[in-house]
Each structure stands twice: as C-alpha cells, then as structure tokens.
Amino acid sequence: MYAFEIERPSTVADAVKLLKQSDENQALGGGQTLIPTLKQRLAAPEVLVCLSGIDEIKGVCTDDEGRICIGGGTTHGDVAAGSGAYPALVWLARNIGDPAVRNRGTIGGSLANNDPSACYPAAVLASGATVVTNERDIAADDFFEGMFATALNEGEIITEVKFPVPEKANYQKFEQPASRFALVGVFVAKFADGVRVAVTGASEEGVFRWTEAEEALSGTFSASALEGLSVPADGMISDLHGSGAYRAHLVGVLTRRAVEAA
C-alpha cells in the first residue's frame, strides 16, 4: 500500500471534521473492502479516518416505534448478536463472509460501499429502513444509487440504521462459489401495509425492488402469488459465474423460497 496518515477520532463530529479537511481523506470502517484495496495500491488516500474508535455509533437498541436501531459502526457479528427481534436480519448478518470479516466489518461500511453483491442493501431496502447520518435521515428508497454509489455526500457518515421489524421476513442468498458474496440475494419482508422485495447481486444497477412481486405478494402472501412472474434478463449482471438469464431465473426461485421460509 501507499503511505498514508491515520487518524482515530472518538466522536462523529471529529471524524466529520477530518474528512472535510480534504477530498483525499477517506473514512475507514471495518476495512474489509478498503484494506485489500489499499494493499493492491488501487486507492491512495492521504489520511484514513478510522471510525472504529467512535463508541457513539456502535451497538444495537430498540426505539419507541419498535425499530431496531443499529449503530453504523456495529460489526456484523454484533448485529447478529443484538437483533434477535428480527431473525431474518440475524441470519443475514451471521452469513456474511467469515468470522474475521464479521468481527471487523461494519454495517455502515458495507452500506456506504454499496457493493452490488453485498447482503445488507437487500435488508435495508426490503425493510424500508432509514439510514441516519450526521447530516440527515435518508429513506432506503433514496439511499442506493447504483453500483458502489449512494446518496451520501463527501464527509457524510452513517451513524445509525433504523429497521422497522416486519411481521414476516426471510433472506435467501445464493452464493457466488468463489467470493461467497451473493450471486443473487433476495430479501422479502411482509409488513401490515404491504410486502417489500429487494434483490441484491443480480442487477447492473445494484440492489433493486421487484415491484411486481411486491404487488402480488401484498395481495396474497404465498408462493403461488408469484406464479408467472419473472424479472427480465436485460440489465442483469453477466459474468463467468452466471449469465443475466441465470441471475434473472434465480431471482424468481429465491423470492419464492423466501416467501415459503418467511
């Protein structure tokens, strides 16, 4: 890696101040994407602003509305341990990467990176969660802006993610054989006022909602409601692990399985 300075602020305010000092400064969450990138010399920040010493963005609690509120700096392991009221989210967190990844990687880091194959974006979008930053609240539907792109501004830090807890939910992840990221992942969440279905791994545009399925399932929350529905292969990722047609097919299979398992 190239030489860089590292700062270890203990408050969000200090971290933001450091990040805003220069465009070349970069926030470091758990480092599960950024550190390998640095090792390959694919990034050259002047200053890494390490967020792991900021206690105010760690931990899981429940707010007055019953939402599960997870600090942006909470590791996947701690998300799994603290989100018992939302079993689908627990399962998702518990199946990210390996123990080393789960003990370092953070939900805020994952969402800010918005890898098109990451798991959390599916949970956030399907749950209609709210992404809280040092500046504002961002609705899930407004947060994801395509592969590796989000609504975050420069120097904006995810401090918390608030998940409404659905009546029923399930996450189905079909792993890419090498990376074990989601080749396709489908998160289905049934709320009193409707069903949300979010798909990760499949689309060239990153995580998306499968609205036809949502409408059908909001009518009848049963696998049979999905009969005849499919997503088009156009715009799906095609690579050595699977064609766009295969991914589109998997979206249908996994959605049905998620409904059955929810």
Partner 1 sequence: MPKDGGIGASSKRREDVRFLTGAGNYTDDINLRGQAYVYFLRSDVAHGTLNNVDTSAAEGMPGVLKVFTGADFAEVGGIPCGWQVTDRHGQPMQEPPHPVLAQGKVRHVGDPIAAVVAESREQARDAAEAIEVDISDLPAVMDMKEALKEGATKVHDDLTSNLCYDWGFVEENKGAVDEAIKNAAHVTTLELVNNRLVPNAMEPRVAVGDYSRATDDSTLYTTSQNPHVIRLLMGAFVLGIPEHKLRVVAPDVGGGFGSKIYHYAEEAFCTFAAKKLNRPVKWTCSRSEAFISDAHGRDHVTKIELALDADNNFTAVRTETYANMGAYLSTFAPSIPTWLHGTLMAGNYKTPNIYVNVKAVFTNTVPVDAYRGAGRPEATYQLERVIDKAARELGVDPIELRRQNFITEFPYATPVAVEYDTGDYNATMDKLLEIIDKDGFQKRLEESKAKGKLRGLGINCYIEACGIAPSNLVGQLGARAGLYESATVRVNATGGITVMTGSHSHGQGHETSFAQVVADMIGIDESMIEIEHGDTANTPMGMGTYGSRSIAVGGSAMVKATEKIIAKARKIAAHLMEASEADIELKDGQFTVAGTDKSVAWGDVTLAAYVPHNYPLEEIEPGLEETAFYDPANFTYPSGAYACEVEVDPETGKVTIERFAAADDFGNVINPMIVSGQVHGGLAQGIGQALLEQTSYDADGQLLSASYMDYAMPRADDVPFYNVDHSCQTPCTHNPLGVKGCGEAGAIGSPPSVVNAVVDALQRAGHDVTHIDMPLTPSRVWAAMQG
**Shortest spacing between CB 242 and partner 1, in angstroms:** 4
What is the token pair recorded at 238?
């095609």
**Shortest spacing between CB 246 and partner 1, in angstroms:** 5
User: What's the rounded Cα separation, in Å, for the pair 176 and 41?
Assistant: 25
Q: Which helix (H) or strand (E) holds 158?
A: strand 158-163
**Shortest spacing between CB 21 and partner 1, in angstroms:** 25
Instruction: Report the residue number, 177 or 228, with the smaller CB distance to partner 1.
Output: 177
Instruction: Report the residue number, 74 or 117, with the smaller CB distance to partner 1.
Output: 117
User: What's the rounded Cα separation, in Å, for the pair 101 and 149?
Assistant: 22
Instruction: Report the residue number, 40 or 224, with the smaller CB distance to partner 1.
Output: 40
Instruction: Report the residue number, 22 or 179, with the smaller CB distance to partner 1.
Output: 179
**Shortest spacing between CB 78 and partner 1, in angstroms:** 24
User: What's the rounded Cα separation, in Å, for the pair 137 and 95?
Assistant: 28
**Shortest spacing between CB 118 and partner 1, in angstroms:** 13
118 touches 181 (CB < 8 A): yes
User: What's the rounded Cα separation, in Å, for the pair 129 and 138?
Assistant: 9
Instruction: Report the residue number, 41 or 64, with the smaller CB distance to partner 1.
Output: 41
Helices 87-94 and 120-127: crossing angle in degrees, nearest 10, is 170
User: By the criterion CB under 8 A, which residues form the site for partner 1?
Assistant: 3, 40-41, 174, 177-179, 183, 239-243, 246, 249-250, 253
